[in-house]
Amino acid sequence: MQSELLDRSYHFLNFLPTVADFLVQKHKESELKVDEKSLYNLVTEADLKAESMILDEIQKNYPADGILSEERGKIDGNSGYTWVVDPLDGTTNYTHGLPLYGVSVGVVETDTMTPLIGMVFFPELNTYYHAIKGQGAFREKTPIQVSKTASLKDSLFVTGFPYDRNLSLDTLMQYYKSILQKSRGIRRTGAATLDLCWLAEGKFEGYYELGLKPWDMAAAGLIVLEAKGKITSMDGNDFSILIPSLLATNGLVHDYLLAEFEGQINRVVY
């Protein structure tokens, strides 16, 4: 298995800069075609083209692997590996000309959906993060680890809001207010993969969000775990990319945040 993972990781760490370059060039165009999948949930021609580039590369080089992607859905395979792809995380940022967006590609074990490889490129931040299960996490070639901050008052957190946020806005604001009052602050980047990668290298102490999808968590979630972080659902259950709530921390403030969320998790926003 290890050699197969190394091969897939090496291949795509060399391929994904091509996708990143495409997104940067497309971002410079004055006329970007944008469609609404739902309220607040956008898709652009750049999303679709970037996804086609990635999926074509997977199917050409690893035809027996399965695929789960944001725009095209599920493609079955029989190798035991499934690629989980978000061609453009942070589409709203992208459509507004912000550089806070990424390309996320992960590989999971098909039967358990356990993340095995994670790669996230941030084209206009000129950096990328990657991990293979059991081998640590890296920003480019530099090993990274989560922060050592152990108190809420000294911690900086980050969050995001689900697309159907209007269904449970009061609950979301309750979480926000509760943590904001006890910490150094809360940020919102608009890209879950960026939140998780910045947590992995110690910029944030914790990240939480409801309404996530597998492609939001598969690659960047592994990067956090390999950076010695901790991940559960927001109600304390084991991490799974199939559970749409996520609490990721440096491990030292994890129980404090679980206590803040206890009894408040409102599954209507799932």
Binding residues: 70, 86, 88-89, 216
Q: Read off φ and ψ for residue 89, nearest 5 degrees.
A: -90, 125
Q: Read off φ and ψ for residue 33, nearest 5 degrees.
A: -75, 125
CB atoms near residue 108 (< 10 Å): 24
- On whether the CB atoms of residues 270 and 210 are closer than 8 A, the answer is yes
Q: List the binding residues for Mg(2+).
A: 70, 86, 88-89, 216
Which three-class secondary structure string do you get for the chain? CHHHHHHHHHHHHHHHHHHHHHHHHHHCCCCCCEEEEECCEEEEHHHHHHHHHHHHHHHHHCCCCEEEECCCEEECCCCCEEEEEEEEECHHHHHCCCCCCEEEEEEEECCCCCEEEEEEEECCCCEEEEEECCCCEEECCEEECCCCCCCHHHCEEEECCCCCHHHHHHHHHHHHHHHHCCCCEEECCCCHHHHHHHHHCCCCCEEEEECCCHHHHHHHHHHHHHCCCEEECCCCCECCCCCCEEEEECCCCHHHHHHHHCCCCCHHHC
